[in-house]
Amino acid sequence: MSRLADKRILLGVTGGIAAYKAAELTRALRAEGAEVRVAMTRAATAFVAPLTFQALSGQPTHLDLLDPAEESAMGHIRLARWADAILIAPATADFIAKLRAGLADDLLSALCLAAEAPLALAPAMNQAMWSNPATRDNVACLEARGVRLFGPAQGAQACGESGFGRMLEPADICREAADLFAPACLAGLSVLVSAGPTREPIDPVRYLSNRSSGKMGYALTRAALAAGAKTTLVSGPVALEPPRGAELARVESAAEMFEAVLGAAPRHDIYIGAAAVADYSLADVAGHKIKKRDEVLSLVLTRTRDILATVAALPKPPFTVGFAAETDRLEAYARQKLETKGLDMVAANRVGAGLGFDRDENALRVFWRGGEACLPTAPKSHIATQLIELIAERYLAKNST
Protein backbone atom coordinates (compact mmCIF):
# COMPACT_ATOMS: atom_id res chain seq x y z
CA MET A 1 0.00 0.00 0.00
CA SER A 2 1.23 3.48 -0.85
CA ARG A 3 2.43 5.64 2.04
CA LEU A 4 0.09 8.29 0.68
CA ALA A 5 -3.01 6.14 1.16
CA ASP A 6 -5.54 7.95 3.38
CA LYS A 7 -3.16 10.86 3.89
CA ARG A 8 -4.59 14.39 3.74
CA ILE A 9 -2.50 16.54 1.42
CA LEU A 10 -3.05 20.28 1.15
CA LEU A 11 -1.70 21.24 -2.28
CA GLY A 12 -0.75 24.91 -2.65
CA VAL A 13 -0.53 26.28 -6.18
CA THR A 14 1.28 29.57 -6.81
CA GLY A 15 1.49 31.75 -9.91
CA GLY A 16 3.94 30.21 -12.33
CA ILE A 17 3.67 28.52 -15.71
CA ALA A 18 4.35 25.16 -14.00
CA ALA A 19 0.92 25.49 -12.37
CA TYR A 20 -0.41 23.34 -15.21
CA LYS A 21 1.62 20.43 -13.80
CA ALA A 22 -0.19 20.83 -10.48
CA ALA A 23 -3.35 19.56 -12.16
CA GLU A 24 -1.65 16.28 -13.06
CA LEU A 25 -0.08 16.20 -9.59
CA THR A 26 -3.54 16.40 -8.03
CA ARG A 27 -4.62 13.41 -10.10
CA ALA A 28 -1.44 11.49 -9.24
CA LEU A 29 -1.79 12.10 -5.49
CA ARG A 30 -5.38 10.87 -5.54
CA ALA A 31 -4.33 7.81 -7.53
CA GLU A 32 -1.99 6.98 -4.63
CA GLY A 33 -4.94 7.10 -2.24
CA ALA A 34 -4.42 10.59 -0.81
CA GLU A 35 -7.23 13.01 -0.07
CA VAL A 36 -6.32 16.32 -1.71
CA ARG A 37 -7.51 19.84 -1.12
CA VAL A 38 -6.15 22.71 -3.18
CA ALA A 39 -5.41 26.28 -2.13
CA MET A 40 -4.43 28.73 -4.87
CA THR A 41 -2.93 32.18 -4.90
CA ARG A 42 -4.73 34.74 -7.04
CA ALA A 43 -1.75 34.78 -9.43
CA ALA A 44 -2.14 31.01 -9.92
CA THR A 45 -5.69 31.46 -11.23
CA ALA A 46 -4.25 33.34 -14.21
CA PHE A 47 -2.63 30.05 -15.33
CA VAL A 48 -5.17 27.38 -14.31
CA ALA A 49 -8.84 27.83 -13.42
CA PRO A 50 -9.93 26.89 -9.88
CA LEU A 51 -12.66 24.74 -11.39
CA THR A 52 -9.98 22.44 -12.83
CA PHE A 53 -8.68 21.59 -9.36
CA GLN A 54 -12.19 21.24 -7.98
CA ALA A 55 -12.96 18.65 -10.64
CA LEU A 56 -9.70 16.76 -10.10
CA SER A 57 -9.67 16.84 -6.29
CA GLY A 58 -13.39 16.39 -5.73
CA GLN A 59 -13.24 19.26 -3.22
CA PRO A 60 -13.86 23.02 -3.46
CA THR A 61 -10.77 25.04 -4.34
CA HIS A 62 -9.70 27.47 -1.61
CA LEU A 63 -8.81 30.98 -2.74
CA ASP A 64 -9.44 33.79 -0.27
CA LEU A 65 -8.12 34.42 3.23
CA LEU A 66 -11.08 36.62 4.14
CA ASP A 67 -13.86 34.47 2.67
CA PRO A 68 -16.90 35.14 4.92
CA ALA A 69 -18.19 31.59 4.39
CA GLU A 70 -14.92 30.17 5.71
CA GLU A 71 -13.56 32.70 8.19
CA SER A 72 -16.65 32.79 10.39
CA ALA A 73 -15.22 29.57 11.78
CA MET A 74 -11.51 30.48 11.27
CA GLY A 75 -11.41 28.45 8.09
CA HIS A 76 -7.70 28.91 7.40
CA ILE A 77 -6.84 27.47 10.81
CA ARG A 78 -9.17 24.50 10.33
CA LEU A 79 -7.68 23.82 6.90
CA ALA A 80 -4.14 24.04 8.28
CA ARG A 81 -5.04 21.56 11.03
CA TRP A 82 -6.75 19.23 8.55
CA ALA A 83 -3.58 18.59 6.56
CA ASP A 84 -1.17 15.74 7.23
CA ALA A 85 1.27 17.57 4.95
CA ILE A 86 1.36 20.78 2.93
CA LEU A 87 2.91 20.66 -0.53
CA ILE A 88 3.49 23.83 -2.55
CA ALA A 89 3.84 23.02 -6.26
CA PRO A 90 4.87 25.14 -8.00
CA ALA A 91 6.65 27.25 -5.41
CA THR A 92 7.70 30.52 -7.04
CA ALA A 93 10.64 32.67 -5.96
CA ASP A 94 8.14 35.22 -4.65
CA PHE A 95 6.31 32.69 -2.51
CA ILE A 96 9.56 31.24 -1.16
CA ALA A 97 10.60 34.75 -0.11
CA LYS A 98 7.24 35.27 1.62
CA LEU A 99 7.62 32.02 3.55
CA ARG A 100 11.12 32.95 4.66
CA ALA A 101 9.84 36.32 5.94
CA GLY A 102 6.81 34.76 7.65
CA LEU A 103 4.29 36.88 5.74
CA ALA A 104 0.61 35.88 5.81
CA ASP A 105 -1.16 38.31 3.51
CA ASP A 106 -3.06 35.70 1.50
CA LEU A 107 -4.71 32.36 2.22
CA LEU A 108 -1.84 30.09 1.20
CA SER A 109 0.89 31.95 3.09
CA ALA A 110 -1.37 32.13 6.16
CA LEU A 111 -1.98 28.38 5.95
CA CYS A 112 1.76 27.70 5.85
CA LEU A 113 2.40 29.97 8.82
CA ALA A 114 -0.41 28.40 10.86
CA ALA A 115 0.37 24.80 9.96
CA GLU A 116 2.04 22.26 12.24
CA ALA A 117 2.20 19.58 9.54
CA PRO A 118 5.32 18.95 7.43
CA LEU A 119 5.82 21.53 4.68
CA ALA A 120 7.41 20.76 1.31
CA LEU A 121 8.17 22.97 -1.69
CA ALA A 122 8.58 22.05 -5.35
CA PRO A 123 10.37 25.15 -6.71
CA ALA A 124 9.73 26.38 -10.26
CA MET A 125 11.31 29.51 -11.69
CA ASN A 126 13.77 30.87 -14.24
CA GLN A 127 17.28 29.48 -13.82
CA ALA A 128 18.74 32.92 -13.01
CA MET A 129 16.09 33.49 -10.34
CA TRP A 130 16.90 30.09 -8.80
CA SER A 131 20.64 30.82 -8.71
CA ASN A 132 20.21 34.39 -7.44
CA PRO A 133 21.86 34.78 -4.00
CA ALA A 134 18.60 36.06 -2.51
CA THR A 135 16.74 32.88 -3.51
CA ARG A 136 19.61 30.66 -2.40
CA ASP A 137 19.64 32.39 0.98
CA ASN A 138 15.85 32.08 1.32
CA VAL A 139 15.95 28.38 0.46
CA ALA A 140 18.82 27.68 2.86
CA CYS A 141 16.94 29.43 5.67
CA LEU A 142 13.74 27.44 5.03
CA GLU A 143 15.63 24.13 4.85
CA ALA A 144 17.32 24.96 8.15
CA ARG A 145 13.81 25.38 9.61
CA GLY A 146 12.87 21.90 8.44
CA VAL A 147 11.06 22.72 5.20
CA ARG A 148 11.60 19.98 2.62
CA LEU A 149 12.63 20.80 -0.95
CA PHE A 150 11.57 18.64 -3.89
CA GLY A 151 13.87 19.66 -6.73
CA PRO A 152 14.12 21.71 -8.80
CA ALA A 153 15.17 19.78 -11.88
CA GLN A 154 17.51 20.90 -14.62
CA GLY A 155 16.47 21.36 -18.25
CA ALA A 156 14.69 23.51 -20.81
CA GLN A 157 12.40 26.18 -19.41
CA ALA A 158 9.30 27.90 -20.78
CA CYS A 159 11.25 31.15 -21.18
CA GLY A 160 13.60 29.45 -23.65
CA GLU A 161 16.54 29.25 -21.26
CA SER A 162 17.96 26.09 -19.69
CA GLY A 163 19.24 25.24 -16.23
CA PHE A 164 18.04 24.44 -12.73
CA GLY A 165 14.57 25.75 -12.00
CA ARG A 166 12.18 23.32 -13.68
CA MET A 167 9.56 21.87 -11.38
CA LEU A 168 9.91 18.13 -10.88
CA GLU A 169 7.49 15.96 -12.79
CA PRO A 170 4.31 14.98 -10.90
CA ALA A 171 5.40 11.33 -10.54
CA ASP A 172 8.69 12.41 -8.93
CA ILE A 173 6.88 14.80 -6.57
CA CYS A 174 4.52 11.98 -5.56
CA ARG A 175 7.51 9.80 -4.67
CA GLU A 176 9.04 12.59 -2.62
CA ALA A 177 5.71 13.30 -0.88
CA ALA A 178 5.40 9.66 0.09
CA ASP A 179 8.80 9.91 1.80
CA LEU A 180 7.31 12.52 4.16
CA PHE A 181 5.51 9.61 5.79
CA ALA A 182 8.44 7.21 6.00
CA PRO A 183 8.39 5.18 9.24
CA ALA A 184 10.64 6.09 12.16
CA CYS A 185 12.67 2.92 11.56
CA LEU A 186 15.78 4.23 13.37
CA ALA A 187 14.07 5.56 16.47
CA GLY A 188 16.34 5.21 19.49
CA LEU A 189 19.47 4.64 17.38
CA SER A 190 22.41 6.90 16.58
CA VAL A 191 23.79 7.32 13.07
CA LEU A 192 27.13 8.77 11.94
CA VAL A 193 27.40 9.95 8.32
CA SER A 194 30.47 11.19 6.49
CA ALA A 195 29.87 13.23 3.35
CA GLY A 196 31.50 15.32 0.66
CA PRO A 197 35.06 15.40 -0.69
CA THR A 198 38.36 15.93 1.08
CA ARG A 199 41.06 18.39 0.05
CA GLU A 200 44.69 17.34 0.20
CA PRO A 201 46.98 20.42 0.20
CA ILE A 202 49.76 20.75 -2.34
CA ASP A 203 50.87 24.22 -1.24
CA PRO A 204 49.12 27.11 0.55
CA VAL A 205 46.85 27.80 -2.49
CA ARG A 206 46.36 24.43 -4.23
CA TYR A 207 44.94 21.07 -3.32
CA LEU A 208 43.93 17.68 -4.72
CA SER A 209 40.24 16.86 -4.52
CA ASN A 210 37.36 15.23 -6.41
CA ARG A 211 33.94 16.08 -7.83
CA SER A 212 31.81 14.98 -4.88
CA SER A 213 29.10 17.55 -4.06
CA GLY A 214 28.10 15.92 -0.77
CA LYS A 215 24.44 15.80 -1.85
CA MET A 216 24.05 12.06 -1.25
CA GLY A 217 25.58 12.18 2.22
CA TYR A 218 23.50 15.20 3.20
CA ALA A 219 20.35 13.49 1.87
CA LEU A 220 21.21 10.43 3.98
CA THR A 221 21.65 12.65 7.02
CA ARG A 222 18.19 14.16 6.51
CA ALA A 223 16.69 10.71 5.93
CA ALA A 224 18.29 9.36 9.12
CA LEU A 225 16.91 12.30 11.10
CA ALA A 226 13.47 11.75 9.57
CA ALA A 227 13.72 8.08 10.56
CA GLY A 228 14.14 9.09 14.20
CA ALA A 229 17.89 8.68 14.63
CA LYS A 230 20.20 10.93 16.59
CA THR A 231 22.53 11.88 13.76
CA THR A 232 26.07 13.22 13.44
CA LEU A 233 27.44 14.50 10.13
CA VAL A 234 31.16 14.73 9.39
CA SER A 235 31.38 16.88 6.29
CA GLY A 236 34.14 17.74 3.90
CA PRO A 237 34.03 21.15 2.16
CA VAL A 238 30.69 21.50 0.35
CA ALA A 239 28.31 24.30 -0.63
CA LEU A 240 25.31 22.83 1.16
CA GLU A 241 23.21 23.94 4.11
CA PRO A 242 23.68 21.56 7.08
CA PRO A 243 20.56 19.50 7.89
CA ARG A 244 18.75 20.93 10.89
CA GLY A 245 19.00 18.67 13.93
CA ALA A 246 22.27 16.97 13.04
CA GLU A 247 25.47 17.42 15.02
CA LEU A 248 27.97 18.78 12.51
CA ALA A 249 31.75 18.43 12.31
CA ARG A 250 33.48 20.18 9.40
CA VAL A 251 36.78 18.84 8.09
CA GLU A 252 39.06 19.46 5.12
CA SER A 253 41.60 16.69 4.65
CA ALA A 254 41.40 12.90 4.73
CA ALA A 255 43.47 12.92 7.93
CA GLU A 256 40.98 15.30 9.59
CA MET A 257 38.05 13.15 8.45
CA PHE A 258 39.77 10.04 9.81
CA GLU A 259 40.20 11.62 13.24
CA ALA A 260 36.63 12.99 13.33
CA VAL A 261 35.00 9.73 12.23
CA LEU A 262 37.10 7.48 14.46
CA GLY A 263 36.48 9.79 17.39
CA ALA A 264 32.71 9.59 16.91
CA ALA A 265 32.20 6.01 15.63
CA PRO A 266 32.35 4.16 19.00
CA ARG A 267 29.31 6.05 20.32
CA HIS A 268 27.13 5.40 17.26
CA ASP A 269 25.08 2.37 16.25
CA ILE A 270 25.46 2.88 12.49
CA TYR A 271 28.18 4.47 10.34
CA ILE A 272 27.46 5.42 6.71
CA GLY A 273 30.65 6.33 4.86
CA ALA A 274 29.26 8.37 1.97
CA ALA A 275 32.27 10.71 1.76
CA ALA A 276 34.59 10.60 -1.24
CA VAL A 277 37.80 10.45 0.77
CA ALA A 278 41.12 10.93 -1.03
CA ASP A 279 43.07 7.70 -1.36
CA TYR A 280 46.37 9.61 -1.50
CA SER A 281 47.80 12.80 -0.05
CA LEU A 282 51.04 14.70 -0.60
CA ALA A 283 54.13 13.27 1.05
CA ASP A 284 55.50 16.81 1.47
CA VAL A 285 53.30 19.90 1.35
CA ALA A 286 55.13 22.98 0.09
CA GLY A 287 55.24 25.83 2.56
CA HIS A 288 55.04 28.42 -0.22
CA LYS A 289 53.22 28.71 -3.54
CA ILE A 290 54.90 26.49 -6.15
CA LYS A 291 55.91 28.63 -9.11
CA LYS A 292 55.46 27.62 -12.73
CA ARG A 293 59.06 26.98 -13.78
CA ASP A 294 59.64 23.42 -14.97
CA GLU A 295 57.86 21.72 -17.89
CA VAL A 296 57.13 18.69 -15.70
CA LEU A 297 56.22 18.78 -12.04
CA SER A 298 56.31 15.56 -10.03
CA LEU A 299 54.31 15.10 -6.86
CA VAL A 300 54.99 12.25 -4.45
CA LEU A 301 51.80 10.83 -2.97
CA THR A 302 51.30 8.51 -0.01
CA ARG A 303 48.23 6.45 0.84
CA THR A 304 45.78 7.87 3.35
CA ARG A 305 44.44 5.83 6.24
CA ASP A 306 41.38 3.73 5.39
CA ILE A 307 38.44 5.09 7.39
CA LEU A 308 35.89 2.39 6.49
CA ALA A 309 38.19 -0.54 7.20
CA THR A 310 39.36 0.98 10.48
CA VAL A 311 35.79 1.61 11.69
CA ALA A 312 34.73 -1.92 10.72
CA ALA A 313 37.71 -3.34 12.64
CA LEU A 314 36.90 -1.59 15.94
CA PRO A 315 36.41 -3.92 18.93
CA LYS A 316 32.71 -3.03 18.97
CA PRO A 317 32.11 -1.58 15.51
CA PRO A 318 28.94 0.17 14.44
CA PHE A 319 26.92 -1.32 11.58
CA THR A 320 29.22 -0.08 8.81
CA VAL A 321 27.97 0.95 5.37
CA GLY A 322 30.38 1.93 2.62
CA PHE A 323 29.94 3.49 -0.80
CA ALA A 324 31.61 2.36 -4.01
CA ALA A 325 31.63 4.86 -6.89
CA GLU A 326 32.83 2.94 -9.94
CA THR A 327 33.28 3.58 -13.65
CA ASP A 328 33.24 -0.15 -14.55
CA ARG A 329 32.85 -3.66 -13.04
CA LEU A 330 30.43 -2.21 -10.50
CA GLU A 331 29.32 -5.42 -8.81
CA ALA A 332 32.77 -7.02 -8.73
CA TYR A 333 34.45 -4.01 -7.14
CA ALA A 334 31.57 -3.45 -4.72
CA ARG A 335 31.61 -7.04 -3.48
CA GLN A 336 35.38 -6.90 -3.17
CA LYS A 337 35.09 -3.77 -1.03
CA LEU A 338 32.44 -5.45 1.13
CA GLU A 339 34.75 -8.37 1.91
CA THR A 340 38.20 -6.77 2.10
CA LYS A 341 37.09 -3.95 4.38
CA GLY A 342 34.81 -6.12 6.53
CA LEU A 343 31.71 -3.99 5.88
CA ASP A 344 28.13 -4.87 6.70
CA MET A 345 26.80 -3.29 3.51
CA VAL A 346 28.06 -1.43 0.46
CA ALA A 347 26.07 0.89 -1.81
CA ALA A 348 27.50 1.09 -5.31
CA ASN A 349 26.82 3.56 -8.09
CA ARG A 350 28.28 4.29 -11.48
CA VAL A 351 30.13 7.56 -12.02
CA GLY A 352 31.49 9.28 -15.10
CA ALA A 353 29.79 10.14 -18.41
CA GLY A 354 27.16 12.29 -16.69
CA LEU A 355 26.50 9.83 -13.86
CA GLY A 356 26.90 10.18 -10.11
CA PHE A 357 28.72 13.36 -9.08
CA ASP A 358 27.13 16.83 -9.24
CA ARG A 359 23.65 15.47 -9.95
CA ASP A 360 20.39 15.55 -8.05
CA GLU A 361 19.52 11.98 -9.00
CA ASN A 362 21.23 8.68 -8.29
CA ALA A 363 20.78 4.94 -8.67
CA LEU A 364 22.31 2.35 -6.34
CA ARG A 365 22.98 -1.36 -6.20
CA VAL A 366 23.29 -2.39 -2.57
CA PHE A 367 25.14 -5.52 -1.47
CA TRP A 368 25.46 -7.38 1.80
CA ARG A 369 26.46 -10.94 2.63
CA GLY A 370 23.69 -13.14 1.34
CA GLY A 371 21.67 -10.46 -0.41
CA GLU A 372 21.41 -7.43 -2.62
CA ALA A 373 18.90 -4.77 -3.67
CA CYS A 374 18.52 -2.39 -6.58
CA LEU A 375 17.40 1.21 -6.03
CA PRO A 376 16.54 2.58 -9.50
CA THR A 377 17.19 6.13 -10.64
CA ALA A 378 15.34 8.69 -8.51
CA PRO A 379 16.04 11.98 -6.70
CA LYS A 380 18.82 11.53 -4.15
CA SER A 381 16.42 12.40 -1.32
CA HIS A 382 14.20 9.47 -2.32
CA ILE A 383 17.17 7.12 -2.78
CA ALA A 384 18.39 8.18 0.68
CA THR A 385 15.06 7.30 2.30
CA GLN A 386 15.04 3.89 0.61
CA LEU A 387 18.63 3.19 1.66
CA ILE A 388 17.98 4.22 5.26
CA GLU A 389 15.03 1.82 5.42
CA LEU A 390 17.21 -0.95 3.99
CA ILE A 391 19.98 -0.20 6.49
CA ALA A 392 17.46 -0.29 9.34
CA GLU A 393 16.17 -3.65 8.12
CA ARG A 394 19.66 -5.18 7.90
CA TYR A 395 20.74 -3.64 11.21
CA LEU A 396 17.73 -5.24 12.91
CA ALA A 397 18.42 -8.58 11.24
CA LYS A 398 22.07 -8.55 12.37
CA ASN A 399 21.30 -7.55 15.95
CA SER A 400 18.36 -9.90 16.46
CA THR A 401 20.43 -13.02 15.78
List the catalytic residues: 159
Please report which helix (H) or strand (E) contains residue 271, including its range.
Answer: strand 270-273
What single-letter amino acid sits at 286? Answer: A
Question: CA separation (Å) from 31 to 174, 231, 381?
Answer: 10, 35, 22
Helix, strand, or coil here: 33?
Answer: coil
What gap in Å lies between CA 212 and CA 215, rounded to an integer? 8
Q: Give the CA angle between residues 248, 251, 257 to the nearest 5°.
A: 100
Nearest one of 197, 206, 212, 213 to 282, comparing CA atoms: 206
Total residue length of the chain: 401
Contact 197, 357 (CB under 8 A): no
Strands, E assignment, 182-269:
190-195, 200-203, 206-208, 230-235, 247-250
Contact 274, 195 (CB under 8 A): yes
Residue 35: beta bridge partners?
8
Looking only at the bridges linking them, the beta strands covering 8-13 and 35-40 are parallel
Looking only at the bridges linking them, the beta strands covering 153-156 and 162-166 are antiparallel
Contact 247, 232 (CB under 8 A): yes
Phi and psi for 317 in degrees, rounded to 5?
A: -75, 150
Query: What angle do the packed helices 75-82 and 107-114 form, to 10 degrees?
Result: 60
DSSP letter string, 27-74? HHHHHTT-EEEEEE-TGGGGTS-HHHHHHHHSSPPB--TT-HHHHTTT
For the chain, how many helices (H) and strands (E)?
14, 19
